[in-house]
Amino acid sequence: MTPDFIIVGAGSAGCALANRLSEDPKNRVVLLERGGTDAGPFIQMPAALSYPMNMSIYDWGYKSEPEPNLDGRQVVTPRGKVMGGSSSINGMVYVRGHARDFDTWAQMGARGWSYADVLPYYQRMENAHAGDEGWRGRNGPVHVSRGERWSPLFDAFIKAGAQAGYETTEDYNGYKQEGFGEMEMTVYNGRRWSAANAYLKPAKNRENLTVISGALTQRILFEGKRAVGIEYLKGGELKQIRCSREVIVSASSINSPQLLMVSGIGDAEHLAEMGIEPLVDRKGVGQNLQDHLELYIQQACTKPITLYKYWNLFSKALIGAQWLFTKTGKGASNHFETCAFIRSRAGIEYPDIQFHFLPFAVRYDGKAAAEGHGFQAHVGPMRSKSRGAVTLRSGNPLDPPKVLFNYMSHPDDWDEFRQCIRLTREIFAQEAFAPFRGKEIQPGAHVQSDDELDAFIREHAESAYHPCGTCRMGSPDDPLAVVDPECRVIGVEGLRVADSSIFPQITNGNLNAPSMMVGEKAADHILGKERLAPVNDEPWINPNWKTQQR
Protein backbone atom coordinates (compact mmCIF):
# COMPACT_ATOMS: atom_id res chain seq x y z
CA MET A 1 0.00 0.00 0.00
CA THR A 2 1.22 3.48 -0.84
CA PRO A 3 -0.46 5.84 1.63
CA ASP A 4 -1.36 9.42 0.82
CA PHE A 5 0.10 10.69 4.09
CA ILE A 6 2.82 9.55 6.49
CA ILE A 7 2.76 11.02 10.01
CA VAL A 8 5.90 10.63 12.13
CA GLY A 9 5.06 10.60 15.85
CA ALA A 10 1.84 9.67 17.68
CA GLY A 11 1.99 12.54 20.16
CA SER A 12 -0.37 15.41 20.96
CA ALA A 13 -0.39 16.79 17.39
CA GLY A 14 0.24 13.51 15.57
CA CYS A 15 -2.80 11.76 17.07
CA ALA A 16 -5.02 14.72 16.17
CA LEU A 17 -3.66 14.66 12.61
CA ALA A 18 -4.13 10.89 12.26
CA ASN A 19 -7.77 11.23 13.28
CA ARG A 20 -8.62 14.24 11.11
CA LEU A 21 -6.73 13.11 7.99
CA SER A 22 -8.32 9.64 8.10
CA GLU A 23 -11.90 10.91 8.60
CA ASP A 24 -12.31 10.81 4.82
CA PRO A 25 -12.06 7.10 3.84
CA LYS A 26 -10.36 8.13 0.57
CA ASN A 27 -7.26 9.33 2.48
CA ARG A 28 -4.85 6.51 3.33
CA VAL A 29 -2.76 7.40 6.36
CA VAL A 30 0.22 5.71 8.05
CA LEU A 31 1.19 6.81 11.57
CA LEU A 32 4.58 5.76 12.97
CA GLU A 33 5.46 5.82 16.68
CA ARG A 34 8.74 4.79 18.31
CA GLY A 35 7.03 3.71 21.53
CA GLY A 36 4.39 1.10 22.27
CA THR A 37 1.05 0.78 24.02
CA ASP A 38 -0.28 3.26 26.56
CA ALA A 39 -2.32 0.59 28.35
CA GLY A 40 -1.72 0.06 32.07
CA PRO A 41 -2.36 1.92 35.31
CA PHE A 42 0.86 3.96 35.41
CA ILE A 43 -0.30 5.98 32.40
CA GLN A 44 -4.08 5.78 32.72
CA MET A 45 -4.34 6.62 36.46
CA PRO A 46 -4.05 10.42 36.81
CA ALA A 47 -2.50 10.43 40.30
CA ALA A 48 0.33 8.14 39.08
CA LEU A 49 1.69 10.94 36.87
CA SER A 50 5.18 10.94 38.41
CA TYR A 51 5.78 7.33 37.32
CA PRO A 52 5.60 7.24 33.49
CA MET A 53 7.84 10.27 32.99
CA ASN A 54 10.54 8.44 34.97
CA MET A 55 10.18 5.11 33.13
CA SER A 56 12.47 4.41 30.16
CA ILE A 57 9.76 2.34 28.45
CA TYR A 58 7.66 5.50 28.08
CA ASP A 59 10.26 8.30 28.01
CA TRP A 60 13.06 9.12 25.56
CA GLY A 61 15.27 9.92 28.57
CA TYR A 62 16.73 13.16 27.26
CA LYS A 63 18.86 15.46 29.40
CA SER A 64 20.12 18.91 28.57
CA GLU A 65 23.80 19.59 28.09
CA PRO A 66 25.37 21.07 31.26
CA GLU A 67 23.51 24.38 31.68
CA PRO A 68 26.12 27.14 32.18
CA ASN A 69 23.85 29.40 34.28
CA LEU A 70 22.57 26.60 36.53
CA ASP A 71 25.97 25.55 37.92
CA GLY A 72 26.47 23.12 35.04
CA ARG A 73 23.46 21.00 36.00
CA GLN A 74 22.01 18.71 33.35
CA VAL A 75 18.25 19.22 33.38
CA VAL A 76 16.04 16.22 32.66
CA THR A 77 13.80 16.66 29.62
CA PRO A 78 11.15 13.92 29.53
CA ARG A 79 9.49 13.36 26.14
CA GLY A 80 6.83 10.72 25.59
CA LYS A 81 7.88 7.56 23.74
CA VAL A 82 4.46 5.87 23.73
CA MET A 83 1.08 6.14 22.03
CA GLY A 84 -0.10 9.67 22.87
CA GLY A 85 3.47 10.94 23.16
CA SER A 86 4.00 13.44 25.96
CA SER A 87 0.22 13.69 26.52
CA SER A 88 0.54 10.17 27.98
CA ILE A 89 3.25 11.08 30.51
CA ASN A 90 2.49 14.74 31.32
CA GLY A 91 0.77 16.34 34.31
CA MET A 92 -2.57 16.55 32.40
CA VAL A 93 -2.88 20.30 32.97
CA TYR A 94 -4.99 21.95 30.29
CA VAL A 95 -4.09 25.53 29.32
CA ARG A 96 -4.93 27.03 25.94
CA GLY A 97 -2.54 29.97 26.33
CA HIS A 98 -3.42 33.65 26.43
CA ALA A 99 -5.11 35.33 23.46
CA ARG A 100 -2.12 37.68 23.13
CA ASP A 101 0.24 34.71 22.68
CA PHE A 102 -1.37 33.90 19.36
CA ASP A 103 -1.67 37.53 18.30
CA THR A 104 2.10 37.69 18.88
CA TRP A 105 2.57 34.61 16.67
CA ALA A 106 0.76 36.40 13.84
CA GLN A 107 2.92 39.52 14.34
CA MET A 108 6.03 37.29 14.17
CA GLY A 109 5.05 36.08 10.69
CA ALA A 110 2.65 33.20 11.46
CA ARG A 111 -0.21 34.82 9.55
CA GLY A 112 -3.55 33.12 10.12
CA TRP A 113 -2.58 32.01 13.66
CA SER A 114 -3.90 34.97 15.66
CA TYR A 115 -6.26 34.31 18.56
CA ALA A 116 -9.30 34.92 16.34
CA ASP A 117 -7.96 32.22 13.98
CA VAL A 118 -7.06 29.55 16.57
CA LEU A 119 -10.06 29.98 18.91
CA PRO A 120 -12.45 28.03 16.63
CA TYR A 121 -9.96 25.12 16.55
CA TYR A 122 -9.83 25.05 20.34
CA GLN A 123 -13.63 25.01 20.34
CA ARG A 124 -13.69 22.17 17.77
CA MET A 125 -11.35 19.98 19.80
CA GLU A 126 -12.76 20.58 23.30
CA ASN A 127 -15.42 18.88 25.33
CA ALA A 128 -15.15 21.26 28.29
CA HIS A 129 -17.21 20.13 31.29
CA ALA A 130 -17.23 23.66 32.75
CA GLY A 131 -16.15 27.16 31.79
CA ASP A 132 -17.42 30.20 29.93
CA GLU A 133 -20.38 29.57 27.64
CA GLY A 134 -19.62 30.64 24.08
CA TRP A 135 -15.86 30.56 24.62
CA ARG A 136 -15.52 26.82 25.18
CA GLY A 137 -16.17 23.78 23.00
CA ARG A 138 -18.68 21.22 24.27
CA ASN A 139 -18.67 18.46 21.62
CA GLY A 140 -15.02 17.81 20.75
CA PRO A 141 -12.90 14.71 21.42
CA VAL A 142 -10.72 16.26 24.16
CA HIS A 143 -12.47 16.05 27.54
CA VAL A 144 -11.48 18.83 29.94
CA SER A 145 -12.61 18.54 33.56
CA ARG A 146 -12.06 20.02 37.02
CA GLY A 147 -11.23 18.39 40.34
CA GLU A 148 -13.22 18.02 43.56
CA ARG A 149 -10.93 20.35 45.55
CA TRP A 150 -11.04 17.86 48.45
CA SER A 151 -8.49 19.73 50.58
CA PRO A 152 -9.37 23.14 52.11
CA LEU A 153 -5.92 24.24 50.90
CA PHE A 154 -7.19 24.50 47.31
CA ASP A 155 -9.75 27.15 48.22
CA ALA A 156 -7.27 28.82 50.59
CA PHE A 157 -5.00 29.46 47.61
CA ILE A 158 -7.77 31.24 45.65
CA LYS A 159 -8.85 33.23 48.73
CA ALA A 160 -5.24 34.22 49.47
CA GLY A 161 -4.88 35.56 45.93
CA ALA A 162 -7.99 37.70 46.36
CA GLN A 163 -6.77 38.90 49.78
CA ALA A 164 -3.47 39.93 48.17
CA GLY A 165 -5.44 42.10 45.75
CA TYR A 166 -5.43 39.90 42.65
CA GLU A 167 -8.29 39.10 40.32
CA THR A 168 -10.17 35.82 40.47
CA THR A 169 -11.31 34.05 37.31
CA GLU A 170 -14.07 31.55 36.63
CA ASP A 171 -12.30 30.23 33.53
CA TYR A 172 -8.68 30.99 32.66
CA ASN A 173 -9.25 29.15 29.36
CA GLY A 174 -12.18 31.43 28.49
CA TYR A 175 -12.76 35.17 28.58
CA LYS A 176 -10.32 35.98 31.40
CA GLN A 177 -7.00 34.24 31.98
CA GLU A 178 -5.67 36.66 34.58
CA GLY A 179 -6.39 35.76 38.19
CA PHE A 180 -6.76 32.90 40.69
CA GLY A 181 -9.15 30.05 40.02
CA GLU A 182 -9.78 26.35 39.41
CA MET A 183 -7.33 24.47 37.21
CA GLU A 184 -8.48 22.22 34.38
CA MET A 185 -7.18 18.80 33.46
CA THR A 186 -7.39 16.30 30.61
CA VAL A 187 -9.12 13.67 32.75
CA TYR A 188 -12.37 11.91 31.80
CA ASN A 189 -14.28 9.34 33.87
CA GLY A 190 -11.29 9.15 36.20
CA ARG A 191 -8.78 8.35 33.42
CA ARG A 192 -5.99 10.31 31.77
CA TRP A 193 -7.53 11.70 28.60
CA SER A 194 -4.43 11.75 26.42
CA ALA A 195 -4.34 12.51 22.70
CA ALA A 196 -4.27 8.73 22.19
CA ASN A 197 -7.55 8.30 24.10
CA ALA A 198 -9.14 11.38 22.52
CA TYR A 199 -8.08 11.00 18.90
CA LEU A 200 -6.35 7.72 18.14
CA LYS A 201 -8.55 5.11 19.83
CA PRO A 202 -11.75 6.28 18.04
CA ALA A 203 -9.93 6.14 14.67
CA LYS A 204 -7.69 3.09 15.00
CA ASN A 205 -10.15 0.64 13.45
CA ARG A 206 -10.55 2.68 10.28
CA GLU A 207 -9.37 0.62 7.32
CA ASN A 208 -7.56 3.62 5.86
CA LEU A 209 -5.41 4.23 8.99
CA THR A 210 -2.35 2.08 9.69
CA VAL A 211 -0.50 2.56 12.99
CA ILE A 212 3.04 1.17 13.22
CA SER A 213 4.47 1.08 16.75
CA GLY A 214 8.08 0.40 17.74
CA ALA A 215 9.20 2.25 14.60
CA LEU A 216 12.17 4.64 14.81
CA THR A 217 12.06 6.99 11.82
CA GLN A 218 15.65 7.55 10.69
CA ARG A 219 15.36 9.90 7.75
CA ILE A 220 13.02 11.48 5.24
CA LEU A 221 13.38 10.22 1.67
CA PHE A 222 13.59 12.81 -1.11
CA GLU A 223 13.43 12.80 -4.89
CA GLY A 224 15.12 16.07 -5.73
CA LYS A 225 13.58 18.43 -3.21
CA ARG A 226 10.29 16.59 -2.85
CA ALA A 227 9.71 14.39 0.22
CA VAL A 228 8.44 11.01 -1.00
CA GLY A 229 8.62 8.82 2.11
CA ILE A 230 10.59 7.81 5.16
CA GLU A 231 13.09 5.19 6.25
CA TYR A 232 12.54 3.56 9.63
CA LEU A 233 14.00 0.92 11.89
CA LYS A 234 11.74 -1.72 13.41
CA GLY A 235 12.87 -4.88 15.16
CA GLY A 236 16.43 -4.34 13.93
CA GLU A 237 15.29 -4.19 10.30
CA LEU A 238 15.56 -1.10 8.10
CA LYS A 239 12.39 -0.44 6.09
CA GLN A 240 10.97 2.24 3.82
CA ILE A 241 7.49 3.60 3.19
CA ARG A 242 6.66 5.95 0.33
CA CYS A 243 3.63 8.20 0.10
CA SER A 244 1.80 9.86 -2.76
CA ARG A 245 1.07 13.21 -1.08
CA GLU A 246 2.92 14.37 2.05
CA VAL A 247 5.17 13.47 4.95
CA ILE A 248 4.16 15.20 8.19
CA VAL A 249 6.69 15.34 11.04
CA SER A 250 5.08 15.51 14.50
CA ALA A 251 7.95 14.06 16.47
CA SER A 252 8.41 16.75 19.21
CA SER A 253 10.49 19.87 19.59
CA ILE A 254 13.55 17.65 20.18
CA ASN A 255 13.07 14.90 17.58
CA SER A 256 11.50 16.93 14.75
CA PRO A 257 14.52 19.20 14.19
CA GLN A 258 16.84 16.20 14.55
CA LEU A 259 14.94 14.32 11.84
CA LEU A 260 15.07 17.34 9.51
CA MET A 261 18.80 17.76 10.10
CA VAL A 262 19.78 14.11 9.54
CA SER A 263 17.68 14.31 6.36
CA GLY A 264 19.69 17.28 5.06
CA ILE A 265 17.55 20.26 6.14
CA GLY A 266 19.30 22.66 8.50
CA ASP A 267 22.30 24.92 8.88
CA ALA A 268 24.50 23.78 5.99
CA GLU A 269 27.74 24.33 7.95
CA HIS A 270 26.54 22.29 10.93
CA LEU A 271 25.29 19.50 8.65
CA ALA A 272 28.58 19.38 6.75
CA GLU A 273 30.47 19.14 10.05
CA MET A 274 28.34 16.10 10.87
CA GLY A 275 29.08 14.49 7.49
CA ILE A 276 25.57 15.14 6.13
CA GLU A 277 25.11 16.49 2.62
CA PRO A 278 22.89 19.58 2.92
CA LEU A 279 19.74 19.50 0.83
CA VAL A 280 18.36 22.87 2.02
CA ASP A 281 20.24 25.47 4.08
CA ARG A 282 17.73 26.49 6.79
CA LYS A 283 19.65 28.07 9.65
CA GLY A 284 16.60 28.12 11.96
CA VAL A 285 16.29 24.33 12.27
CA GLY A 286 16.95 23.46 15.91
CA GLN A 287 17.31 27.11 16.97
CA ASN A 288 14.85 29.21 19.02
CA LEU A 289 14.50 26.50 21.72
CA GLN A 290 12.33 27.75 24.59
CA ASP A 291 10.96 26.23 27.80
CA HIS A 292 9.36 27.19 31.09
CA LEU A 293 11.56 26.95 34.17
CA GLU A 294 9.87 26.78 37.55
CA LEU A 295 10.58 26.63 41.27
CA TYR A 296 8.68 24.77 43.97
CA ILE A 297 7.97 27.17 46.84
CA GLN A 298 7.10 24.87 49.74
CA GLN A 299 5.42 25.60 53.07
CA ALA A 300 4.89 23.22 56.00
CA CYS A 301 1.24 22.55 56.85
CA THR A 302 0.12 22.38 60.50
CA LYS A 303 -2.92 20.18 59.79
CA PRO A 304 -3.05 16.69 58.23
CA ILE A 305 -4.99 17.86 55.15
CA THR A 306 -2.41 17.18 52.45
CA LEU A 307 -1.55 14.24 50.21
CA TYR A 308 1.25 13.31 52.63
CA LYS A 309 -1.21 11.26 54.69
CA TYR A 310 -1.58 8.94 51.68
CA TRP A 311 2.18 8.71 51.12
CA ASN A 312 2.55 5.17 52.46
CA LEU A 313 2.25 1.75 50.86
CA PHE A 314 -1.06 0.85 52.53
CA SER A 315 -2.82 4.08 51.42
CA LYS A 316 -1.35 3.88 47.92
CA ALA A 317 -2.64 0.31 47.59
CA LEU A 318 -6.13 1.37 48.73
CA ILE A 319 -6.18 4.34 46.35
CA GLY A 320 -4.93 2.13 43.51
CA ALA A 321 -7.56 -0.51 44.19
CA GLN A 322 -10.38 2.04 44.39
CA TRP A 323 -9.23 3.59 41.12
CA LEU A 324 -8.80 0.21 39.41
CA PHE A 325 -12.36 -0.89 40.21
CA THR A 326 -14.31 2.38 40.21
CA LYS A 327 -12.09 5.04 38.50
CA THR A 328 -12.87 7.34 41.46
CA GLY A 329 -11.11 8.63 44.57
CA LYS A 330 -7.69 10.21 45.02
CA GLY A 331 -6.32 8.26 42.06
CA ALA A 332 -8.67 10.06 39.64
CA SER A 333 -7.04 13.52 39.84
CA ASN A 334 -3.64 15.04 39.03
CA HIS A 335 -4.16 17.14 42.23
CA PHE A 336 -3.25 20.39 40.47
CA GLU A 337 -6.75 21.70 41.08
CA THR A 338 -6.22 25.44 41.61
CA CYS A 339 -3.89 27.84 39.86
CA ALA A 340 -3.19 31.46 38.99
CA PHE A 341 -1.93 33.64 36.16
CA ILE A 342 -0.67 37.06 37.25
CA ARG A 343 1.46 39.93 35.95
CA SER A 344 4.86 40.45 37.56
CA ARG A 345 4.73 44.26 37.43
CA ALA A 346 2.85 47.24 36.07
CA GLY A 347 3.34 47.88 32.35
CA ILE A 348 2.94 44.22 31.33
CA GLU A 349 -0.28 43.77 29.35
CA TYR A 350 -1.10 40.16 30.19
CA PRO A 351 0.06 37.54 32.71
CA ASP A 352 3.70 36.50 32.68
CA ILE A 353 3.72 34.30 35.82
CA GLN A 354 1.92 30.98 36.26
CA PHE A 355 1.20 29.12 39.52
CA HIS A 356 0.25 25.45 39.85
CA PHE A 357 -0.91 24.83 43.44
CA LEU A 358 -0.48 21.38 45.03
CA PRO A 359 -1.56 20.29 48.56
CA PHE A 360 1.71 18.39 49.02
CA ALA A 361 5.40 19.27 49.33
CA VAL A 362 6.98 16.91 46.81
CA ARG A 363 9.31 16.82 43.81
CA TYR A 364 8.24 15.81 40.32
CA ASP A 365 10.18 12.56 40.68
CA GLY A 366 7.92 11.65 43.62
CA LYS A 367 10.33 12.40 46.50
CA ALA A 368 8.36 13.94 49.39
CA ALA A 369 9.77 16.73 51.56
CA ALA A 370 11.24 15.38 54.81
CA GLU A 371 9.01 17.71 56.84
CA GLY A 372 5.87 15.68 56.18
CA HIS A 373 2.66 17.65 55.65
CA GLY A 374 3.11 20.66 53.39
CA PHE A 375 1.85 22.46 50.32
CA GLN A 376 3.58 24.10 47.38
CA ALA A 377 3.22 26.39 44.42
CA HIS A 378 5.08 25.67 41.22
CA VAL A 379 5.93 29.15 39.95
CA GLY A 380 7.87 30.53 37.04
CA PRO A 381 8.01 33.27 34.41
CA MET A 382 6.10 32.54 31.21
CA ARG A 383 8.11 34.47 28.61
CA SER A 384 11.83 34.13 29.26
CA LYS A 385 14.02 35.92 26.72
CA SER A 386 16.62 33.11 26.86
CA ARG A 387 16.95 30.91 23.77
CA GLY A 388 18.68 27.58 23.33
CA ALA A 389 19.18 25.07 20.53
CA VAL A 390 18.88 21.43 19.51
CA THR A 391 21.93 20.35 17.48
CA LEU A 392 23.25 17.04 16.23
CA ARG A 393 25.75 15.02 18.22
CA SER A 394 26.65 13.13 15.06
CA GLY A 395 25.20 12.27 11.66
CA ASN A 396 23.86 8.99 13.08
CA PRO A 397 20.08 9.21 13.62
CA LEU A 398 20.39 6.74 16.53
CA ASP A 399 22.51 9.19 18.54
CA PRO A 400 20.42 11.49 20.75
CA PRO A 401 20.76 15.15 19.78
CA LYS A 402 22.42 17.79 21.95
CA VAL A 403 19.85 19.88 23.83
CA LEU A 404 21.04 23.15 25.37
CA PHE A 405 18.27 25.36 26.72
CA ASN A 406 20.68 28.10 27.79
CA TYR A 407 18.39 28.76 30.76
CA MET A 408 18.78 32.05 32.67
CA SER A 409 21.13 33.48 30.02
CA HIS A 410 19.21 36.77 29.83
CA PRO A 411 19.61 39.15 32.80
CA ASP A 412 15.84 39.79 32.95
CA ASP A 413 15.30 36.13 33.88
CA TRP A 414 16.91 36.68 37.27
CA ASP A 415 14.74 39.71 38.10
CA GLU A 416 11.62 37.80 37.01
CA PHE A 417 12.44 34.73 39.11
CA ARG A 418 13.21 36.75 42.23
CA GLN A 419 9.87 38.49 41.76
CA CYS A 420 8.17 35.07 41.44
CA ILE A 421 9.58 33.97 44.81
CA ARG A 422 8.67 37.20 46.61
CA LEU A 423 5.12 37.31 45.21
CA THR A 424 4.56 33.65 46.17
CA ARG A 425 5.71 34.30 49.72
CA GLU A 426 3.31 37.24 49.92
CA ILE A 427 0.40 35.00 48.81
CA PHE A 428 1.29 32.27 51.33
CA ALA A 429 1.45 34.98 54.05
CA GLN A 430 -2.22 35.94 53.57
CA GLU A 431 -4.92 35.36 56.20
CA ALA A 432 -6.49 32.49 54.22
CA PHE A 433 -3.44 30.31 54.94
CA ALA A 434 -3.16 31.32 58.65
CA PRO A 435 -4.92 28.16 59.99
CA PHE A 436 -2.55 25.90 58.00
CA ARG A 437 0.76 27.75 57.70
CA GLY A 438 3.88 26.27 59.25
CA LYS A 439 7.47 27.23 58.44
CA GLU A 440 8.73 27.83 54.93
CA ILE A 441 10.41 24.59 53.79
CA GLN A 442 11.88 25.90 50.53
CA PRO A 443 13.69 28.25 49.92
CA GLY A 444 13.56 28.79 53.73
CA ALA A 445 12.93 32.05 55.59
CA HIS A 446 16.68 32.80 55.82
CA VAL A 447 16.96 33.12 52.00
CA GLN A 448 16.17 36.82 51.42
CA SER A 449 18.81 38.84 49.57
CA ASP A 450 19.10 38.89 45.78
CA ASP A 451 22.33 36.88 45.97
CA GLU A 452 20.73 34.25 48.24
CA LEU A 453 17.69 33.97 45.98
CA ASP A 454 19.92 33.68 42.89
CA ALA A 455 21.87 30.84 44.52
CA PHE A 456 18.59 29.05 45.29
CA ILE A 457 17.40 29.52 41.69
CA ARG A 458 20.67 28.16 40.29
CA GLU A 459 20.45 25.07 42.48
CA HIS A 460 16.70 24.34 42.40
CA ALA A 461 15.08 25.65 39.19
CA GLU A 462 13.50 22.77 37.27
CA SER A 463 12.07 22.47 33.78
CA ALA A 464 8.28 22.49 33.57
CA TYR A 465 8.80 20.20 30.53
CA HIS A 466 7.50 22.66 27.93
CA PRO A 467 10.18 22.65 25.19
CA CYS A 468 9.13 24.25 21.91
CA GLY A 469 10.11 26.55 19.06
CA THR A 470 12.83 24.59 17.23
CA CYS A 471 11.14 24.55 13.77
CA ARG A 472 9.71 28.02 14.02
CA MET A 473 6.75 29.05 11.90
CA GLY A 474 7.10 32.34 10.04
CA SER A 475 7.09 34.15 6.75
CA PRO A 476 8.74 32.21 3.89
CA ASP A 477 11.21 35.10 3.39
CA ASP A 478 12.32 34.97 7.06
CA PRO A 479 15.77 33.29 6.99
CA LEU A 480 15.22 31.79 10.48
CA ALA A 481 11.71 30.43 9.84
CA VAL A 482 11.55 26.68 9.18
CA VAL A 483 7.89 26.27 8.20
CA ASP A 484 5.45 28.71 6.58
CA PRO A 485 2.03 29.52 8.09
CA GLU A 486 0.61 26.36 6.48
CA CYS A 487 3.26 24.24 8.27
CA ARG A 488 5.12 23.51 5.01
CA VAL A 489 8.89 23.18 5.37
CA ILE A 490 10.37 26.12 3.45
CA GLY A 491 12.60 25.13 0.52
CA VAL A 492 11.19 21.65 -0.14
CA GLU A 493 7.88 20.13 -1.27
CA GLY A 494 5.64 17.46 0.25
CA LEU A 495 6.92 17.97 3.80
CA ARG A 496 5.32 19.64 6.82
CA VAL A 497 6.03 19.90 10.52
CA ALA A 498 3.12 20.13 12.97
CA ASP A 499 3.86 20.00 16.71
CA SER A 500 5.17 22.31 19.45
CA SER A 501 8.41 22.84 17.50
CA ILE A 502 6.61 25.28 15.17
CA PHE A 503 5.60 27.71 17.95
CA PRO A 504 7.28 31.06 17.18
CA GLN A 505 7.09 31.95 20.89
CA ILE A 506 6.19 29.83 23.90
CA THR A 507 2.59 30.18 25.08
CA ASN A 508 1.33 31.07 28.56
CA GLY A 509 1.06 27.81 30.46
CA ASN A 510 1.32 24.12 29.63
CA LEU A 511 1.80 23.09 26.00
CA ASN A 512 -0.40 20.02 25.54
CA ALA A 513 -3.51 22.01 24.53
CA PRO A 514 -1.79 24.27 21.94
CA SER A 515 0.06 21.23 20.53
CA MET A 516 -3.25 19.41 19.91
CA MET A 517 -4.67 22.62 18.45
CA VAL A 518 -1.74 22.74 16.00
CA GLY A 519 -2.62 19.20 14.88
CA GLU A 520 -6.28 20.18 14.43
CA LYS A 521 -5.50 23.31 12.40
CA ALA A 522 -2.67 21.74 10.38
CA ALA A 523 -5.08 19.00 9.25
CA ASP A 524 -7.25 21.62 7.54
CA HIS A 525 -4.21 23.16 5.83
CA ILE A 526 -3.01 19.74 4.64
CA LEU A 527 -6.42 18.77 3.26
CA GLY A 528 -6.87 22.16 1.60
CA LYS A 529 -10.06 22.76 3.56
CA GLU A 530 -11.50 26.17 4.14
CA ARG A 531 -10.32 27.42 7.53
CA LEU A 532 -12.85 27.68 10.32
CA ALA A 533 -14.25 31.22 10.43
CA PRO A 534 -12.36 33.54 12.82
CA VAL A 535 -14.04 34.30 16.15
CA ASN A 536 -13.49 37.94 17.05
CA ASP A 537 -14.31 37.71 20.77
CA GLU A 538 -12.11 40.12 22.72
CA PRO A 539 -10.49 38.61 25.84
CA TRP A 540 -10.28 40.41 29.19
CA ILE A 541 -7.21 42.60 29.63
CA ASN A 542 -6.74 44.36 32.97
CA PRO A 543 -7.84 47.97 32.31
CA ASN A 544 -5.14 49.26 34.67
CA TRP A 545 -2.25 47.16 33.34
CA LYS A 546 -0.14 50.18 32.42
CA THR A 547 -0.06 51.53 35.97
CA GLN A 548 -0.84 48.60 38.31
CA GLN A 549 0.60 45.13 38.89
CA ARG A 550 -2.71 43.89 40.34
Catalogue all structural domains in the chain, each as residue range(s) with its CATH number. 5-527 (3.50.50.60)
Mean of pLDDT values over 277-290: 98
Rounded Cα distance between 466 and 357, Å, is 18
Residue percentage of the chain with pLDDT more than 70: 99
Distance between CA atoms of residues 290 and 403, nearest Å: 11
- List beta partners, residue 221: 229
Q: What is the pLDDT of residue 197?
A: 98
Share of the chain above pLDDT 90, in %: 97
Residue 529 has pLDDT above 90, yes or no: yes
Q: Which residues are annotated as a binding site for FAD?
A: 4-33, 82, 90-93
* Average confidence (pLDDT) over 268-273: 98
Question: Residue 207 pLDDT > 70, yes or no?
Answer: yes
Q: 364: pLDDT confidence band, cut at 50, 70 and 90?
A: low
pLDDT for res 176? 98
pLDDT, mean over the chain? 97
Mean pLDDT along residues 130-139: 97
pLDDT above 80 (res 369): no
> Exposed e or buried b for every residue in 82-110, given b needs 16+ CB within 10 A?
bbbbbbbbbbbbbbbbbbbbbbbbbebbb
Peptide bond between residue 52 and the one before it cis (omega within 30 degrees of 0):
no
In the predicted structure, residue 351 carries a pLDDT above the cut 90: yes
Instruction: Tell me what pLDDT residue 1 has.
Output: 75
Whole-angstrom Cα distance, residue 227 to residue 4? Answer: 12
What residues form the annotated binding site? 4-33, 82, 90-93
* Model pLDDT, residue 379: 98
Which residue blocks in 190-348 are alpha helix, DSSP H? 195, 201-203, 252-262, 268-273, 313-326
Cβ atoms of 377 and 356 within 8 Å: the answer is yes
Q: Is the pLDDT of residue 370 over 90?
A: no
Give per-residue pLDDT as tens, 55-114: 999 999 999 999 999 999 999 999 999 999 999 999 999 999 999 999 999 999 999 999
d(CA 545, CA 98): 15
Confidence of residue 193 (pLDDT cuts 50, 70, 90): very high
Determine which one of 292, 410, 466, 525 is catalytic.
466
- Return d(Cα 512, Cα 187) in angstroms, integer: 13
Active site residue 466: yes
Distance CA 390, CA 396 (A): 15
